[in-house]
A and B are shown apart, each in its own frame.
Chain A
Amino acid sequence: GAVVSQHPSWVICKSGTSVKIECRSLDFQATTMFWYRQFPKQSLMLMATSNEGSKATYEQGVEKDKFLINHASLTLSTLTVTSAHPEDSSFYICSARGLTEHDNEQFFGPGTRLTVL
């Protein structure tokens, strides 16, 4: 149990376009979802925390207008990278925590590799 999926697993887009990444909790209700960014050979950097039904809380230095997060249901959160540029190329990982037997644990998705040309 406690599986988190992400779609797509990889995406290539042109500079200036927007890309949407989905994060789903498959077998539990995720009251909170987190979005991370990971550069090659570096650690995970938290971008934002989103609670179902409310606005996301962004970490310092993360542009909320650039990285739009929606958490409209207990099983789905989306991250939209607007007007993507090559420097947005990265590995984006979501995690979810919620109503499971391990209520303090975050379960991670497999990640989405974004390449902006």
Chain B
Amino acid sequence: AQRVTQPEKLLSVFKGAPVELKCNYSYSGSPELFWYVQYSRQRLQLLLRHISRESIKGFTADLNKGETSFHLKKPFAQEEDSAMYYCALSGKGAQKLVFGQGTRLTINP
């Protein structure tokens, strides 16, 4: 079964501190992993995907198949990073996404 687990519902860090949002998945195959972000009063939007191997807004995420994890990291948090973050999984070639429960990140000044 496909499952995405984000163990932290809430995460609060100070501005300038490193941030790590955890995501673990369960999938019997080669998954595609994504991070979506939802800023206050805005729609859900794609932040990054593992196949792109890019850094968006200073965030990176590495797929660790051994640990079945796809943690989202940023070395220096900024106040505008405060948002709801969702980790999502799709089977290779599959259409649908399975979302984790989400983590609300708050960056304190």
How many Å from the CB of B5 to the closest CB on chain A? 11
For chain A, which range describes its interface: under 10, 10 to 19, 20 to 34, or 35 or more residues? 10 to 19
Whether B100 and A43, one on each chain, are in contact in the complex, defined by CB atoms closer than 8 angstroms, is yes
Query: Main secondary structure on chain A at its contact with chain B?
Result: strand
Q: Is A71 an interface residue when CB atoms closer than 8 A count as contact?
A: no
Number of interface residues of B (CB under 8 A): 16
A106–B32 Cα distance when bound, in Å, is: 13
Nearest neighbor of A34 in chain B, beta-carbon distance: B96
Q: Is B86 an interface residue when CB atoms closer than 8 A count as contact?
A: yes
A36–B44 Cα distance when bound, in Å, is: 12
Give the contacting residue for A42; candidates B32, B96, B97, B101; CB below 8 A: B101
Nearest neighbor of A3 in chain B, beta-carbon distance: B43
Whether B43 and A46, one on each chain, are in contact in the complex, defined by CB atoms closer than 8 angstroms, is no
